[in-house]
Structure 1
Amino acid sequence: MTDSPILLTPGPLTTHPATRQAMLRDWGSRDKAFIALTAELRTRLLAVANGQATHAAIPLQGSGTFIVEAAISTLVRKTDRLLVLINGAYGERILAIAQRHGLDAVALRAPEDQAIDPARVDATLAADPAITHVALVHCETTTGLLNPLESIAGVVAHHGKPLILDAMSSFGALPLDLAATPVCAVLASSNKCLEGVPGLGFALIAHDALAAAKGVSPSMSFDLHAQHQGFEANGQWRFTPPVQVVAALVEALRALESEGGPTARLARYQDNLRTLAEGMTRLGFPLYLDPAIQAPIIATFRPSPARPFEFEAFYDGLAERGFLIYPGKLTREDSFRIGCIGDLHRADFERLLAAVEQVLAREPA
């Protein structure tokens, strides 16, 4: 470890020293070595989700929201209707993006502490045949809630609609098999479960949907069809890429493979969550979500009404001890969030719990 704080957030997050080390080299963006690195990146991203036979990997500069906006504006036409499944802030963001682009978008909402019900999706699609696309957030990081991807994907496919999946905080850890689960487009970023650094989003888009998307996007920079055509033509990025971020992500993807792939990473994150949840419950901070829908990505905790609690003082106390957590994002309740992802292990969470006890006891750092 370095003097850097431990980031208990949904990304940026604590990265392995080898990932940071990969950013120390300069790369020529049109050089053969970097073209080969980009090719390795795209190949590895597809392999994570078993999408080599069906999808194309299209990286794009920018944050996760950038790739979500790029995909929505590339795949959904003005004449289409998008159904957005919403039970948190990131579903609301997809709807806002669609509305900003003047697209016809409708919402199916559920409470922030409840998963999207596939039966409601089925009924909505049956009642509105004008719907052409469906968008879902896999793990809603507003709370850490895991939506039932396989069931929803099956319903959407039964109605013959393409599913656009925001897998921002699930890709690389939670199961996703594009050969078995019908998902048209998967959207994620470098700085979540892949344990890279911020600055790169990517889409895995089905070949047929991508071929039909020529000329749809109103944007030059965010046109994923054009971005893909550029990679296929000469292996190069159309516009200056974040070369060090690409190098870090390739290193992180190699580390994911060495760890044992998403299955092994999920097991580590589950152990992190179990350690965290048991300790925080003991200290008087219950989980907001039912464990059945709690993903091992980020956990939302509610302050105990029996103990005076002021988030800023709590945050500052933990920061003084080297731990950075996240404020809550709920619309109706006080809460705070602690991430389980990154290059972190059980011992890190045991140290965190000791720090929480010190802060609650108002012991000096």
Structure 2
Amino acid sequence: YARDGSPTPALLEEALTTLARGRYTTVFGSGMAAIAAALAVAAAGKRVLAAPDLYGRTYHLMQSWLPGTGAEVRFANAQDHEGIAALLRDWQPHLLVLETLSNPLVKISDLPWLIAQAQAVGCKTLVDNTFASPYLCRPAELGAAFTVESLTKYINGHGDVTGGAVTCLEAGDHKALVEYRTAFGAVLDPQAAWLTLRGLRTLGLRLRQQCANAAALAAFLTVHPAVAHVYYPGLSHHPGHALAGQMFGGRGFGGMLAFDLAEATRARAWQVMDRLHVAVAAPTLGDIATLVSHPRTASHRNLTPAQAAAIGIGEGAIRVSAGIEHSDDLLADFRQALA
């Protein structure tokens, strides 16, 4: 019975385990199904410490659903090492939740340091690695107990699949994840698994071009008069630039970036996105096409204005997922849209 297991998803799980350098992988029907399963297994009824710079739906899940399981959730800036160390030491959480590169402002978490600090107090770490993908980073190699990937994004890479995966290190956690998937029906269908295996073959090829295009676009936007600020770890002034270079092994700085418009209004953001012809407005990422979105009306629409402001997401922010187009075409498209 397919809800209990199927050959093609099993082949995908084997491939993802090898790619992530983990021990066990469980695939799910979506990225949110994957992270919900990981939280149900590792965080229900427990103390959970999380970075606030999370995908909006994840943040909402941790605020609205997780406390209902008896869990106590606290948020702390992952870049504040002193503060994180104090909370880990004094509060003794059971789970630390992070994103390798935050959505949407691409802040980088120092995973080697954070995971080591958590392990020192017996705390497991869950890392959403979707923005980085296994091409740039493999949190399981660093000791992350759970690595979550939205297969919808870079791993599939063609915008025709919805899926998710959790790679873990312990047999008990894997067993619990499989039982959760079977009980709640959060399965990945065989056709989606087959398409994801197809996409996986070109992950490295796609990411190399996406990283190059993101870097070119970030450099262009940095000096454009209509842009107030650019968020991209490949820029030398980005606070996580050196760390990203070390963690990603010189393979690039990712295909994701964001920027604030000088005219920081929702209307101006949508005007710019509507003028684009090569790039497409879409609330997803990791596609071979360049995609743009407005976080305050898409990925982070559930945040209150105060919550969004606290993590730096303004009405004039635009998130970009660089595709594999020729960089000249991409820069020309943004040049005319910003005029």
Deviations 1:18-41 (A, max 9, x none): xxxxxxxxxx969xxx94422320
> Structure 2: any 5+ residue segments left out of the alignment?
242-252, 282-291, 301-307
Contact 2:12–2:197 (CA<8 Å) still a contact in 1? yes
Aligned residue number for residue 35 of structure 2 = 68
> Is 1:326–1:337's contact at 8 Å kept on the other side of the alignment?
yes
**1:270 equivalenced with 2:228 (yes/no):** no
Match of 1:311 among 269, 274, 287: 269
- Tell me, yes or no, if the aligned pair for 1:95 and 1:105 is still in contact at 8 Å: no
Task: Check if 1:199 corresponds to 2:162.
Answer: yes
Contact kept, 8 Å, 2:257 with 2:321, in 1: the verdict is yes
Alpha carbons of 1:98 and 1:228: their partners in 2 closer, same or farther (altered >3 Å)? Answer: closer
Give the whole-Å Cα distance in 1 for the aligned partners of 2:191 and 2:123. 38
Deviates more, 1:133-142 or 1:279-288: 279-288
Report the secondary structure of 2:28's partner residue. Answer: strand
After TM superposition, list the pairs within 5 Å mapping 1:1-365 onto structure 2: 35-51=6-22, 55-62=23-30, 64-78=31-45, 80-90=46-56, 92-96=59-63, 98-99=65-66, 101-110=68-77, 116-129=79-92, 131-176=93-138, 178=140, 180-194=141-155, 195-196=157-158, 197-210=160-173, 214=176, 224-226=177-179, 241-256=188-203, 259=204, 266-284=207-225, 285=227, 286-288=229-231, 290-293=237-240, 296-305=254-263, 310-319=268-277, 323-324=280-281, 325-329=292-296, 331-332=308-309, 333=314, 334-340=316-322, 342=323, 344-345=324-325, 347=326, 349-361=327-339
Q: Measure how far apart 1:148 and its partner are.
A: 1.3
Q: CA RMSD in A?
A: 3.3
Between 1 and 2, higher relative CO (CA 8 Å, sep ≥ 6) is seen in 1
CA distance in 2, matches of 1:353, 1:248: 31
Deviation per residue, 1:201-227 (Å, 9 max, x gap): 11112224416x75xxxxxxxxx2415
Q: Deviations over 1:146-189 (max 9, x none)?
A: 211111111111112111112222223322152x4111111111
Per-residue deviation, residues 56-114 of structure 1 (Å, max 9, x unmatched): 1111113x222111111122342x2111222345462352255354332232333xxxx
Give the deviation of 1:139 after TM superposition. 1.6
TM-score (norm 2): 0.75
Which has the higher mean CA deviation after the structures are superposed, 132-141 or 188-197? 188-197
Q: How many residues align?
A: 293
Counterpart of 2:12 in structure 1: which amino acid? L
Q: With structure 1 as the length reference, what TM-score do the two structures score?
A: 0.70
User: In structure 1, what residue type is equivalent to 2:330?
Assistant: L
Structure 1 stretches of 5 or more lacking a match?
A: 1-27, 215-223, 231-236
Query: Secondary structure at the residue paired with 1:302?
Result: strand
Residue by residue over 1:207-256, the C-alpha shift from the partner in whole angstroms, topping out at 9 and shown as x without a partner, is 24416x75xxxxxxxxx2415789xxxxxx96764332111101111223
